[in-house]
A = this chain, B = another copy of it.
Amino acid sequence: LAWNNTVIGRKRPRTPGVASLDAHFELPRHLVESVSDALRAGDTGQVHDIVAPLHFSQIADLIERLEPEHRRQLVIAERDHLPPQFLNELDRSLRREVVKAIGRKRFAKALAELDTGDAVDLIEDVKRKKRQEVLDLILAPQRAPIVAALAYPRDSAGRLMHPEVVAIPTAWSVGATIDYLRDSDDLPNEFYAIFVVDAQNRPIGALPLDRVMRAKRPVVVDDIMEVEHLKPIPAKIDQEHVGHLFQDLDLVSAPVVDDDGRLVGTIMVDDIIDVIEEEAEEDFLHLAGVSDSDVFLPAIATARQRLRWLVVTLINTIIASLVISQFEATIQQVVALAVLMPIVAAMGGNAGMQVVTVTVRALATKEITAGNTLRVVWKEVRVGFINGIVFALIMGTLAALWFGAALLGCVLAAAMMLNMLWSGIAGTLIPLVVHRLGGDPAIAAGPFLTTTTDVLGFFLFLGLATVVLI
């Protein structure tokens, strides 16, 4: 692989309309078609001419947009020229396939060239057995930080961090610091702050670069370092917490420390963006019963991914059907019940899913904590009560008019009222309990909730009708 790292001071020629001012930075559609045509014709020279000037994120885009059979062809044709960063930009569902096409040796070379965090992100997806084989192909100096990061728990700050840090003692002057930066060879590629450490290598201050540049050379670091916003992050905490920390404190970079508080790496805000989006997206997809983004997967893999949740839905609805079947005799006498019963279940289910969604999100963003749980539950009970009354009145009246039966309207209103009240209770309690038990509320809460609102809805409506109308 030839690594298209930024070349300092060399102006690269730009492909017209691609890496230029184009605001959206979208891959031009004709380009995908040109590559497809060239691949179909087996014209690898043409393919290379199109792909070579692209930005790594455009290459990832291109691969995603190609037909599955063309993806492999493109990667094999260009594997000696692709910039390694495209692997990280690629949708996770396609990475394994692409890594396979690249081959183990080239993959190892890519890992060695990437930032440690990016390399770890890629090798995490490799099966444990093959992982060691790939690592063995990397030279020791590049391998060491990857292995060190892999020692931290999955999704921890330790895996996210860059082990390369710039740290200086408090006693240094601005001049000494600048000279050190000018003469030092092993600095990270990019950095926005220098950390100031004590004799035990524990971070005690941060020095944003703009502050160093604005100060005169004799100024001592101790006098200009920032202490207020310094937020050392334990390497073992979950990346989700790191994301909240960066958001809450508007951090740009933070030092990562080991159990003894010693500086072991740094996390920067751009590492956090993907974490924050991933976490939000995960909840979003899980709540609808989709385990991962699957746009680029083939139909059969997508169908299999979604099957599990649909099986759960089927079991739920069968349970609801069993409830209905207990009242077959009642329905036979008053067929209007069959017409109206989906309304009771649907209103409870939808109101409940509103509550579940808000609760799942509030748990994820830590808006709900131990301190306000009770208040949130109590509030949702009141919301369910208010909307329950509103819709019970509307629909009870409509049903009474529709079927010319006041008592039927009353039964419908009572069942709706109670089911919507229940949706407020269940909509908060189910995610809260799942969360407390250590589960993912976004996955479990939806099916549980709709089962309860369906079962309760049908039972209340048909049961009340049996008692009152028959």
Residues of A with Cβ closer than 8 Å to B? 6-12, 21, 23-27, 29, 32, 55, 57, 61, 64-65, 67, 85, 89, 91, 178, 181-182, 187, 190-192, 208-216, 222-229, 231-234, 237, 241, 244-252, 261, 268-270, 272-274, 276-277, 280-281, 283-285, 287-290, 293-296, 298-300, 302-303, 306-307, 309-310, 313-314, 316-318, 320-321, 324-325, 328, 331-332, 335-343, 345-347, 350-351, 353-354, 356-358, 361-362, 366-372, 375-376, 379, 382-383, 386-387, 390-391, 394-395, 398, 454
- Structural contact, A361 and B270, CB atoms closer than 8 A: no
- A234, chain B: closest CB distance, angstroms: 5
Contacts of A345 in B (CB 8 A): 342
- B residues near A314, Cβ cutoff 8 Å: 343, 347, 391, 394-395
- State the copy count for this chain: 2
**In the assembly, what is the distance between CA of A403 and CA of B215, in Å?**
85
Contacting residue for A246 out of B251, B273, B303, B394, CB 8 A: B273
- Chain B residue nearest to A221 in the complex (CB): B9
Distance (Å) between the CB of A374 and the closest chain B CB? 12
Query: Are B25 and A182 within 8 A (Cβ)?
Result: no
- CA–CA, A64 and B367, complex, Å: 8
B209 touches A313 (CB 8 A): no
A selection of 23 A-B contacts at a CB cut-off of 8 Å is A9-B224, A24-B241, A24-B245, A24-B366, A26-B366, A55-B249, A65-B369, A65-B372, A178-B213, A187-B210, A191-B210, A269-B269, A283-B284, A285-B357, A289-B350, A295-B358, A295-B362, A306-B387, A307-B387, A310-B350, A313-B347, A331-B335, A342-B454
For A237, what are the chain B residues with a Cβ–Cβ distance below 8 Å? 23-24
Q: A9-B225, A293-B362, A391-B310 are in contact. Are A214 and B182 (CB under 8 A)?
A: yes
Which chain B residues lie closer than 8 Å to A354 at the CB level?
288-290, 306, 309-310
Of B216, B295, B346, which is within 8 A of A316 by CB? B346
Residues from chain B with a CB closer than 8 A to the CB of A248 are 25, 57, 61, 89
Inter-subunit contact B249/A215 (CB<8 Å)? no
Interface pair A29/B252, CB less than 8 Å apart: no
